[in-house]
């Protein structure tokens, strides 16, 4: 075909690394093209697309922590599962309903087992999992690769990996977020590997999300252990926190792919700390970067703007694209940036991002995104629900402060 994208995901990544236009900061280390190849991926069959929920590329789901830190109840989880279905989010691919910290008693029982707080989960975890499964959804739980969780309100799994993995499997758990607090300086590779092996030993497919915060460059070793790994510290519900996590996560793009994904932390969309346009940029970058789309708002009472953002089928489709290549920043001029990544069927996803405080015109030239200068494309604006026909040489738009334009380019 006359289409100008370099033919393989590895070649695209190498092109993006070498491109002189990228000047947004040094990489943690040199990335040679051999590291683009996936290595010893965890063979549990999960995470073939970024985390949404199903066996898509990346996971899409909901997690309690951003909106309900240590405020879990059985009723909240049941109601959230109900809302996931009734709102139509589950039909879009959002499937996991995940509990975060503070669900267990501080002390284990006489046999060393984790004990759910009876006051919060009177029916028990197995019954709760059955309820969530009955909605056609999956359920996730939280643990820690230390002696205590980050809240210090429940025990960690260090030294109890197989026992706790067996407990999770017996309850019907489908996902584990495994945090990094109170680890006593033990190597994260050792701690996270032990739980990964324990989960595999249960025989139950459990999506394994490593929450190591990026301290020891998990992108370089976690692909053989888990399905996703945090590349950053915790996100906060403000622009600076969100965009800084996007930048950090971008440094590790070449390590992500089907079966294992970089995770810049959960989505803050709908929690109230950013404007609608800032949330649009947030959701767009996470989608392009093949980050897990983990909702962190109260989906039982979300407003129309929030639902419009998180339910955009075309944006979600970029995140879940079967090619599974993380898009990245390919050009930066001051506060004006171009992010891009290849999609299946020779398409290209492009974001024009304005990090500045006033509107500006941003241009993505075909050369910026590895495309032949003579190629004509149809440019689909994913947020405006419109298409420009037979665009050549470049695409440009006026973009507001902290806002973006998101296109999928389809070659003729």
Q: Which of 101, 144, 179, 265 is catalytic?
A: 179
Active-site residue, 321 included = no
Helix (H, G, I), strand (E, B) or coil at 256: coil
Nearest to 296 by CA among 355, 357, 241, 256: 241
Q: What are the C-alpha distances in Å from 302 to residues 69, 92, 164, 292?
A: 18, 16, 34, 20
Contacts of residue 212, defined as CB under 8 A and 6 or more positions apart, other chains included, come to: 145, 180, 188, 192, 218, 222, 229, 230
Active-site residue, 265 included = no
Q: Which of 82, 130, 217, 234 is catalytic?
A: 234
Count Cβ atoms below 10 Å from residue 332 Cβ, excluding itself.
17
125-134 vs 161-171: helix crossing angle, rounded to 10:
50
Q: Which token pair is 326?
A: 């993380």
* Torsion, CA 284, CA 216, CA 161, CA 245, rounded to 10: -20
Partner residues linked to 391 by β-bridges: 377
DSSP string covering 355-403, please?
-SSS-EEEEEEGGGGT--TT-EEEEEETTTTEEEEEEESEEEEEE-TT-
| Residue 236 burial (10 A CB sphere; 0-12, 13-18, 19+) | middle
Helix (H) or strand (E) holding 281: helix 276-288
List active site positions: 179, 234
């Amino acid at each position: 075909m006359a289409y100008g994208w370099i033919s393989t995901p590895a070649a695209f990544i190498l092109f993006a690394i070498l491109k002189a236009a990228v000047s947004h900061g040094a990489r943690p280390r040199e990335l040679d093209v051999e590291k683009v190849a996936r290595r010893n991926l965890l063979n549990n069959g999960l995470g073939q697309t970024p985390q949404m929920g199903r066996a898509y590329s990346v996971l899409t789901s909901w997690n309690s922590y951003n909106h309900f830190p240590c405020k879990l109840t059985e009723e909240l989880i049941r109601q959230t599962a109900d809302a996931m279905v009734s709102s139509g989010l589950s039909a879009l691919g959002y499937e996991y309903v995940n509990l975060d910290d503070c669900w267990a008693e501080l002390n284990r029982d006489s046999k060393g087992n984790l004990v759910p707080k009876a006051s919060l989960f009177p029916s028990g975890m197995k019954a709760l999992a059955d309820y969530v499964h009955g909605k056609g959804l999956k359920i996730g739980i939280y643990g820690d690769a230390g002696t205590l969780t980050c809240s210090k309100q429940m025990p960690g799994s260090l030294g109890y990996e197989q026992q706790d993995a067996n407990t999770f499997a017996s309850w019907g758990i489908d996902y584990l977020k495994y945090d990094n607090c109170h680890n006593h300086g033990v190597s994260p590779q050792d701690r996270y590997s032990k739980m990964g092996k324990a989960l595999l030993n249960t025989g139950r497919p459990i999506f394994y999300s490593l929450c190591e915060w990026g301290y020891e460059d998990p992108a370089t070793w976690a692909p053989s252990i888990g399905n996703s790994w945090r590349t950053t510290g915790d996100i906060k519900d403000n622009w600076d926190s969100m965009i800084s996590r996007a930048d950090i996560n971008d440094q590790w793009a070449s390590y992500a792919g089907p079966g294992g994904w970089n995770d810049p932390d959960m989505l803050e969309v709908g929690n109230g700390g950013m404007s609608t346009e800032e949330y649009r940029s947030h959701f767009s970058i996470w989608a392009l970067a093949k980050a897990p789309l983990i909702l962190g708002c109260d989906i039982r009472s979300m407003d129309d703007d929030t639902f419009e953002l998180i339910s955009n089928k075309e944006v979600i489709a970029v995140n879940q694209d079967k090619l599974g290549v993380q898009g990245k920043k390919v050009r930066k001029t001051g506060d004006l940036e171009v992010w891009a990544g290849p999609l299946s069927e020779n398409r290209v996803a492009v974001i024009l991002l304005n990090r500045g405080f006033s509107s500006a015109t941003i241009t993505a030239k075909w050369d910026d995104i590895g495309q032949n200068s003579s190629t004509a494309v149809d440019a689909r604006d994913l947020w405006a629900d419109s298409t420009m026909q037979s665009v050549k040489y470049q695409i440009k738009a006026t973009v507001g402060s902290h806002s973006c334009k998101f296109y999928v380019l389809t070659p003729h």
